[in-house]
Structure 1
């Protein structure tokens, strides 16, 4: 970000609160520092089309998040959605209807530099066909102010694999970038085995991590588990985002992977989005988490 954000003014505007978590990724201030300070916003797991318990405001949380992000000043450089834009359905007509409704809502974002990837709810039943009709490729890369961003698809394969072809593409993509360039990876599932019993893993994620390991500055942002989680594989930091629909329990903390109940005393608890800042003078990305709040959307 090229201007300093006045947090007090922002908090007054959006009525939000949060905590800062620094990834601990060493060596950010090196020859591969970003060209300018900037920040982006990550939203994940909107599950548009989901209805019923445990979220009585299932059609309200995404519009509320859009309204809150629109109040950010200065605005983020871009916004990324890390999968499960919609809730799964066996009906291909309904799937496209939900994708279209989601697109209509996020078209209200003032920031127009948007990046998307599917979650298994969007893509596993048709290998990403409907998603691509609305949002384009399921894996790709782009550069922004001295940082190389990579979007990986580990959901279009219903078995939860990246696949040999995409891994070859990843190796080729990395081979075309300067070795000292900071790399940020966006994906839906975790690339490491967080809790495979609950499908919180990528079957060939270790192969992607192996390709990334030679890079000194790598950070991974993902969704899928509907909660914050921070993990290191060697020097690579992995950060999970909250959901916009319902929170899930900590890995293995209960017998089944069931959504946590709605807390009427603290509505929207566990739901939210995050802001990620890349600063030239810093040693790491800075993450700030913001909860979804009630009120008009």
Structure 2
């Protein structure tokens, strides 16, 4: 574990080493970051054979895709300010016999990322279980760092949430309450503290197309969704970034951009394996999903320079 600590356990005490308000509260001009989701080692074969509950006994495809993503991101110039992985890091649920090896193999690939690019980990339902418990949350924290926290980057406040508390907190009501108290404090902080933008990262989307849509496995229950949207809007949140859907989706609602990014790993629709490039300027947030093949092309470098000019 000692070898992982400097790379994988940087989110501690609800903050992130090197990305604190004291260090990063000032706006220093445009920058970009990479948002990715659902490497989910083990799902691709499991999905093909229709046995998604077993945990996935093979994950060589996802390992190769993660390697490709890491290599492509490392070649980008200028470098992204950080890489955020929005949950479902592996497919095997807590307690599954395949989980430990999936986590080990994902860490081995992510260890190849340029050390100047911070890795930000978001917890997903496969990381914590659909109904998380104190034990499953503790295990995630040991493997990847805190399940929720805030960080600053270039004058932008970022909140990383544990969306499983919104989905089903029956196994850990006290932890869910603590999360909500923390979130309210952070939203009030966003209102009171000068910052250029406020962004949220979570695994499960608020909605896939519109806030009025019906409840679905891939979105949050409507009552919870509506309350969160209201709270986020009051705090001036510009965008919420998520995964979970394994397809690109989302939409703009009254100034709040719900960004749903498809997966590095298994695709459940017509999108390709990829990541999202998010450009942060003084006036707003723009983003575009790129396939891993697109990201690997040298032409991306010039595109980024134009966006950041």
TM-score bracket relative to the smaller structure: 0.7 to 0.9
Structure 1: gaps spanning 5 or more residues: 1-31, 250-259, 261-268
Residue 100 (structure 2) pairs with residue 96 (structure 1): yes
Q: Flag the 1:205–1:139 CA change in 2: closer, same or farther, 3 A.
A: farther
How far residue 217 of structure 1 moved from its aligned partner, in angstroms, is 4.7
Distance 1:179 1:235 in 2: 20
Measured at CA, do residues 136 and 33 of structure 1 come closer, stay the same or move farther in structure 2, by a change above 3 Å?
A: closer
Indicate the larger mover: 284-293 or 144-153.
284-293
Structure 1 residues 90 and 116, CA gap change in structure 2 (3 angstroms): closer
* Residue equivalent to 2:203: 188
Taking the aligned partners of 1:229 and 1:271, their CA distance within structure 2 comes to 14
Deviation at 1:33? Answer: 9.4
Counterpart CA distance in 2 for 1:275 and 1:71 is: 14
Distance in 2 (alpha carbons) for counterparts of 1:122 and 1:184:
22
Q: How far is 1:207 from its partner?
A: 2.9
Map of 2:120 onto structure 1? 115
Within 5 Å, which residues of 2 pair with 1:1-297?
A: 34-52=27-45, 54=48, 57-89=61-93, 91-110=95-114, 111-124=116-129, 127-155=136-164, 159=168, 163-177=176-190, 178=192, 181=195, 182-192=197-207, 196-202=215-221, 204-249=224-269, 269-280=271-282, 283-293=283-293
Q: Offset of 1:213 from its aligned partner?
A: 1.5
Cα distance change, pair 289–129 in 1 and its aligned pair in 2 (3 A): same
For structure 2, the 5+ residue unaligned runs are 1-24, 49-58, 297-309
Aligned-partner Cα distance in 2 for 1:217–1:122: 26
What whole-Å deviation, never above 9, does each CA across 1:235-287 have from its counterpart, x for those lacking one? 211101110122224xxxxxxxxxx6xxxxxxxx522101111112xx32121
Of structures 1 and 2, the one scoring higher in RCO (CA 8 A, sep 6+) is 1
TM-score by length of structure 2 reads 0.70
Q: Give yes or no for contact 2:218–2:244 (8 Å, CA) kept in 1.
A: no
Q: Secondary structure at the match of 2:152?
A: strand
Matched positions, count? 244
| Bigger helix share | 2
Quickly say closer, same or farther: Cα 1:103–1:195, change in 2 above 3 A. Answer: farther
CA distance in 1, matches of 2:198, 2:167: 27
1:156/1:180 CA distance change after superposition, 3 Å: same
* TM-score normalised by the chain length of structure 1: 0.72
Name the SS for the 1:174 alignment partner. Answer: helix
CA drift of 1:195 comes to: 5.1
Query: Residues 277 and 51 from structure 1, CA distance in 2 versus in 1: closer, same or farther, beyond 3 angstroms?
Result: closer
CA RMSD of aligned residues (A): 2.9
